[in-house]
Amino acid sequence: MTSEPTWSGVLHAGVHGFLRAPLVAPEAGALRAAGATHAVYGVPFDSTTLYRTGSMHGPKAVRDASVQFVPYHYDYDVDLAERCALVDCGDAAAIPGNAARTLDIAQADLTQILSAGAMPILLGGEHTVTIAGTRALATRAPGPLGLVVFDTHLDTATDIGGEELTYCAPVSRTLDLDAFSPSTTVLVGIHGPANPREEREWAERRGVTVFSVADIERRGITAITEEAMDIAWRGTAGVYVSVDIDVLDAAYNPGGAPEPGGLTSRELFAALRVIGARGYSAFDVVEVAPQYDPAGITAITACRVILDLLAAASAG
């Protein structure tokens, strides 16, 4: 990744990866040859979504929005072009209507990225794509793993109509893996009347830590995120971070599944500052559905999630 071209190339010129990163196939040899340290990878899949489908278009929208940014991040005084060898590995060959095959394809590509020593940055797609990310990380981790999820919804369903691979179940499917434990799993930002009682009871029975918006109001987002990272890093060898863009209040998230009463974008960025400083092993940004957001606010915010996490880690 380079800082050039600057303004003459913004918005219009050519085929581009995220932040104009070079395009590299998700193959370990190609990634090593490119010297990649971080790899963007999209999963354009939303076939299990129950309400407001369209997040399959999220990866393209986020890439398109990224061209308005430059690698330098003012808040951290960090130039990502100098700190990260960022590449874009394109998108998974998603199979419409088939979550199992799509996740297998994505997991295989993500395993190649990890095998090359690069950090995966997943673009959703619905929240199901987290399952591919955590499965891939579990195959490569030298020890137990932690999980931190920012979301309005618990996503701890055991199944939906008998289907276990759904966007309501990334937490429960991740906790099926031996590498992940409820004791090092934290959900941040939960609130509102879109969380079934049985999902709450499942989380409580298993011992998953849940921080609600009310907790954040009382204690502040920085303190909550510090504790979340303390829990996720307790005896673990790595932490997977998932940001469902609907953790944000509907005013900041018109694209996707807008929920009133969520976090502000400033609160989310403050949380990302903590996460970057504490460290993480892989992350995703999911549920951007651009067709509901003609102003592109949601995709732009998703870009900031990625840039802030990278800059915070690079500055640490």
Task: Annotate 167-193 with DSSP letters as a single string.
Answer: TT-HHHHHTTSTTEEEEEEEEEEE-ST
* pLDDT given for residue 280 in this prediction: 98
CA distances from 15 to 20, 144, 237, 298, 311 (A): 8, 39, 37, 22, 25
Q: Structure tokens of 187?
A: 């959900």
Cβ neighbours, 10 Å, residue 178: 9
Q: Say what the pLDDT of residue 15 is.
A: 57
Show pLDDT as tens, one digit a residue, over the chain (316 residues): 444 444 444 444 455 799 999 999 999 999 999 999 999 999 999 999 998 999 999 999 999 999 999 999 999 999 999 999 999 999 999 999 999 999 999 999 999 999 999 999 999 999 999 999 999 999 998 899 999 999 999 999 999 999 999 999 999 999 999 999 999 999 999 999 999 999 999 999 999 999 999 999 999 999 999 999 999 999 999 999 999 999 999 999 999 888 999 999 999 999 999 999 999 999 999 999 999 999 999 999 999 999 999 999 999 6
What is the predicted pLDDT for the residue at 257?
Answer: 85
pTM given for the model: 0.95
Instruction: Please check whether residue 251 is in contact with residue 221, taking contact to mean a CB–CB distance below 8 angstroms.
Output: no
Q: Indicate the class that CATH gives domain 7-315.
A: alpha beta
Q: pLDDT at position 9, please? A: 46
